[in-house]
Amino acid sequence: MPRIANLSSAGRRWTLWGLLVLLLLALLGILVWLAARYEASQVQQQLERDANEAASDIRSALTHNMQSLLALHVSEPSTASWALDTAAVLHEHRELLRVEWRTATLAIKSQVNSPFHAPLFDSLGRDSALSDIGAACANARRFSGPAYSASYFVPQDDGLGTEVLDLCLPLLSAGQLTGYLLATYSLDEVLARMVNPQLTRSQEASFTEADGARLAVHGTARRGNRVFTAQQLLDLPGNTLVLRMDSWRGAPDLFPNVLTALVSALSLALLAVLALLASDMRRRLSAESDLAEALAFRKAMEDSLVTGLRARNLEGRITYVNPAFCSMVGFAAHELLGSDVSPPDREDSVQAYWPPELTATYKKRHATRLAGEHPPPERFEAVFMRKDGTRLPVLIIEAPLINAQGQHTGWMSAILDISEQRRVEEQSRISQERLQATARLATAGEMASMLSHELNQPLAAISSYATGTSNMLQGEAVPVTADLLMAMRRIAEQAERAGKIIKSVHDFVRRRDQARESVAPQALLDDIMPLIHLQAHKLSVQVQTSLDASLPHVLCDRTMVEQVLLNLARNAMQAMDHPGGGERLLLIGVQLLASNPAWMEFSISDQGPGISPDVARQLFTPFFTTKLEGMGLGLSLCRTVVEQHGGQLAFEPNQPRGTRFTFTLPVASPPGHAVGSAIGARKAPQTQSDPEASNIGLNP
Ligand code: ADP
């Protein structure tokens, strides 16, 4: 589902990007187009200005010429002098092709041709243009001023021709028309002479008819194929000419001018920035997806944790809990997060999982933490309350929460549910108590055993004496009463009965013979270590064990052997308990017996004062003790137990000082061997037979 959402959001993102690129392209296209248009309009305006300027140039030059021509008649010239002056004027003004002096009836009085051109009307004759001249001069008479004819074409001998225009000036004398001065202009030359050459350097000037046909052209040959055109009307009395300016541009340039180039460059830069943005976006997206992946990984990690995690801000409000914490206390995350945890009538924060009886303590601890005077310990134990009201002991490991800016924003705590640990501790305490009770029972049993052992001899003596006496009384001639005999027999009977009772007590005590099991040496030590450590701590003794994990199991009565180990360890530690005794080290070792690997040797070494020969002689004697509140039964019990297993208990001086007690136990038969046969086949190392026990016959 989220994947589909991702896809559709990615699709939308790409659509938006596409739209953005399109809009940008459109904008840039319009910008370039506008810039080009602006440039064209600039050119057009310039052209209009040029056309205007050219028209006014021509207008003022024509007026100037007119004045020069009028000046010819200022002083009533003779025909000859007129011709001379006129020739000078024609020499000066190349655009004038011919000047005629005509009478009021338009008859030619005199005429002068331009020295720069072939005589104009040689081939065609002047009369061909008479109607044009007549119209112009009629106009001139009507205006009492200059008038221009319509332009007309005059073919030449060389096959070419020229478009010309006549100017008719009425000559007045004392208000009476005396004649006409007729000047013929070449339109080509008008353009060439009268228009500022600057204007025609890169443009073409022409006179056209209303339908666009060119009458005369001057200017550079056309270049390129883009044409700009401006037209200007040249209003002359009697005639109106159209002056047209054409400007050619080369094939439309990609960057016609600086502005367009600038806009284009900016557009390119914009596109580049867009591309950079897009790549940045792509990097961002990939970083985003990496981040999402890392977040998912972190979430999976948090969800799989069995340790509860809880983050609190500086006010003590919970800002984060992981699923393990929620399942620990039985509240949902939303019930723990934020402010709804604290009841509305209380301003201070009270957590839902605080047991009411401890709330005051916890609040005080929180206040201390806030004050920052005594930073709380990093690890501490506390009690939480589940939603159902049950309590659970927890171990809290707390660390300050520092954000990316290095500011302290709260605390992060890891919370371990230690109820299982507590249960195990309780169980081990109970089993230790049981072990001690068993030890006491075993001691009592041993006492009974010793009592029976001690009592057996006198009882046996009573029995034999009684039997002897009774025999004597029967055999010798001693006066015997039947009652005496009877009494003697009773002694024997009772003594025998006592012996039986004691034997049954003995059997009862020894019934544990059957409780053999295969145990790892390590397991034996593990069971008693808590008790040993307890006493070692009290007596400041250091305890070391040395055994190989790969050692085989031993076959033994677990409780009794543990009792032996305990007794020997206790004796060893007590032996070291005197002031100034130097190092106090208790070493418990287990190894296979070098001389016979079917036996396991346990050793308990101390660094006490050792055992003097005096003490050594009575060491295993029941009730022998050198301690104030000693019973003197420990060692004899130990020996009994070890020997019941077929092993041997011995002691020797320890190096550099103290005593080393050792005892042996049979190694459990490897799988597949019957236990009974293994015991039968096994022979204890240096088996010692107890002469007394065999005498009495109470031992099995
Ligand atoms: P108890 O410990 O009640 O005295 P035991 O039979 O265990 O009885 O010990 C008998 C005596 O043997 C002790 O009183 C002590 O004098 C001596 N003894 C036992 N173990 C050691 C030892 N490791 N070092 C020196 N003396 C010992």
Question: Would you state the pLDDT for residue 477?
Answer: 57
Domains of the chain, residue spans: 63-248, 305-417, 419-512, 516-695
361 vs 4 pLDDT, higher one: 361
Atom of ligand 1 nearest to the CA of 567: 7
Atom of ligand 1 nearest to the CA of 631: 3
Q: Average of pLDDT values for 43-60?
A: 91
Kindly report, residue by residue over 315-324, the tens digit of the pLDDT.
778 888 988 9
> Of all protein residues, whose CA lies closest to atom 13 belonging to ligand 1?
625
Determine the distance separating the centroid of ligand 1 and the alpha carbon of 364, expressed in angstroms: 54
Q: For residue 635, how far is its CA from the centre of ligand 1 (angstroms)?
A: 7
Atom of ligand 1 nearest to the CA of 626: 14
Gap between the Cα atoms of 177 and 198, Å rounded: 42
Q: What is the DSSP letter of 356?
A: G
Least confident of 38-52, 165-179, 327-341: 327-341
Q: Which residue's CA is minimally distant from atom 7 of ligand 1?
A: 634
> How much distance in Å is there from the Cα of 650 to the middle of ligand 1?
13
**Closest C-alpha to 86, from 102, 103, 68, 63:** 68
Instruction: Concatenate the DSSP letters of all residues of 412-475 into one string.
Output: EEEEEE-HHHHHHHHHHHHHHHHHHHHHHHHHHHHHHHHHHHHHHHHHHHHHHHHHHHHHHHHH
CA 649 to ligand 1 centroid distance, Å: 14
For 535-550, b where at least 16 C-beta lie within 10 A, e where not — what string? bbeeeebebeeebeee
Residue 179 DSSP SS3: strand
Most confident of 251-255, 262-266, 616-620, 690-694: 616-620
Lowest mean pLDDT among 11-25, 197-211, 491-505: 491-505
Question: Of 680, 688, 689, 638, which Cα lies nearest the Cα of 663?
Answer: 638
Q: How far apart are CA 498 and CA 503, in angstroms?
A: 8
- Is residue 667 predicted with pLDDT exceeding 90? yes
Ligand 1 midpoint to CA 618 (Å): 10
Q: How far apart are CA 203 and CA 249, in angstroms?
A: 10
Q: What is the distance in A from the centroid of ligand 1 to the CA of 440?
A: 18
Among 635, 654, 659, the mutation site with the greatest number of ligand 1 atoms within 8 A of its Cβ is 635
Helix axes of 634-644 and 419-475: crossing angle, nearest 10 degrees: 90
3-state secondary structure of 104: coil
pLDDT for 335 equals 84
Among the atoms of ligand 1, which is closest to the Cα of residue 608?
A: 24
The highest-level CATH class for domain 419-512 is mainly alpha
Token pair belonging to 454: 């001690």
Whole-number Å distance, alpha carbon 453 to ligand 1 midpoint, is: 21
Sequence-distant (≥ 6) Cβ neighbours of residue 523 within 8 angstroms: none
Give, for 36, the enclosing helix (H) or strand (E): helix 2-71
Q: Ligand 1, closest atom to CA 572? A: 23
Asked if residue 260 lies in contact with residue 42, where contact means CB atoms within 8 angstroms, the answer is no
At 11 the pLDDT is: 78
Q: Which of 539, 623, 625 to mutate to test the pocket of ligand 1 (most atoms within 8 A of CB)?
A: 625
Amino acid identity of residue 378, one-letter, is E
Determine whether 133 is exposed, middle or buried from the number of CB atoms within 10 Å of its CB (0-12, 13-18, 19+). Answer: buried
Q: Of 232-246, 437-451, 669-683, where does the model show the most confidence?
A: 232-246
The number of the ligand 1 atom at minimal distance from the alpha carbon of 636 is 6
Which band of pLDDT confidence, cut at 50, 70 and 90, is reported for residue 636?
Answer: confident
Residue 107, beta-bridge partner list: none
Q: Which residue's C-alpha comes closest to atom 10 of ligand 1? A: 625
Alpha helices for 476-520 (secondary structure H):
482-510
Window from 341-350, 390-399, 624-633 with minimum mean pLDDT: 341-350
What's the confidence (pLDDT) of residue 589? Answer: 96
C-alpha 451 to ligand 1 mean position (Å): 20
Cα dihedral across residues 496, 501, 502, 503: positive or negative: positive
Residue given tokens 């699709």 in the structure block: 11
Compute the C-alpha angle 502/504/505, nearest 5°: 60
pLDDT number for residue 209: 83
When pLDDT is cut at 50, 70 and 90, the band that residue 578 belongs to is confident
Q: Which of 450, 567, 571, 617 to mutate to test the pocket of ligand 1 (most atoms within 8 A of CB)?
A: 571
Residue nearest to atom 23 of ligand 1 (CA): 572
**DSSP assignment letter at 667:** B
Mean pLDDT, residues 456-477: 70
What spacing in Å lies between the alpha carbon of 152 and ligand 1's midpoint?
160
- One-letter identity of residue 75: S
Task: Return d(Cα 688, Cα 174) in angstroms, integer.
Answer: 187
Residue 269 has pLDDT above 70, yes or no: yes
> How many angstroms does the Cα of residue 525 sit away from the middle of ligand 1?
21
Among protein residues, the one with the nearest Cα to ligand 1's atom 19 is: 571
**In this predicted structure, what is the pLDDT of residue 575?**
92
- Whether 696 has a pLDDT exceeding 70, the answer reads no
Q: Which CATH superfamily is domain 516-695 in?
A: Histidine kinase-like ATPase, C-terminal domain (3.30.565.10)
> How far apart are the CA of 571 and the centre of ligand 1, in A?
6
Pick from 8-12, 114-118, 213-217, 318-322: least confident? 8-12
Fold of 305-417: Beta-Lactamase (3.30.450)
Task: Report d(CA 500, CA 307) in Å as an integer.
Answer: 64
Taking the C-alpha atoms of residue 524 and residue 412, their distance in angstroms, rounded to an integer, is 42
**CATH classification code of 63-248:** 3.30.450.20
Tell me what the mean pLDDT of segment 382-409 comes to. 88
Positive or negative, the Cα torsion across 70, 75, 80, 84?
negative
For atom 16 of ligand 1, the residue with the nearest CA is 626
Residue 41: pLDDT band by 50, 70, 90 thresholds?
confident
Atom in ligand 1 nearest the alpha carbon of residue 606: 23
| Residue 505 pLDDT level (bands cut at 50, 70, 90) | low
Residues within a 6 A CB radius of ligand 1: 571-572, 575, 606, 608, 611, 615, 619, 624-627, 630-635, 659
459 near 499, Cβ under 8 Å? yes
Contact 107, 195 (CB under 8 A): no
Q: Residues near 642 by Cβ (< 8 Å), separated by ≥ 6?
A: 564, 648, 649, 663, 664, 665
* Cα-to-centroid distance, 447 and ligand 1 (Å): 17
Do the first three CATH levels of 63-248 and 305-417 match, i.e. the same topology? yes
- d(C-alpha 15, C-alpha 699), whole Å: 101
* Residue where the block lists tokens 């005629």: 100
pLDDT at 530: 76
Q: What is the mean pLDDT of the chain?
A: 81
Dump pLDDT digits (tens) for 54-73: 999 999 999 999 999 989 88
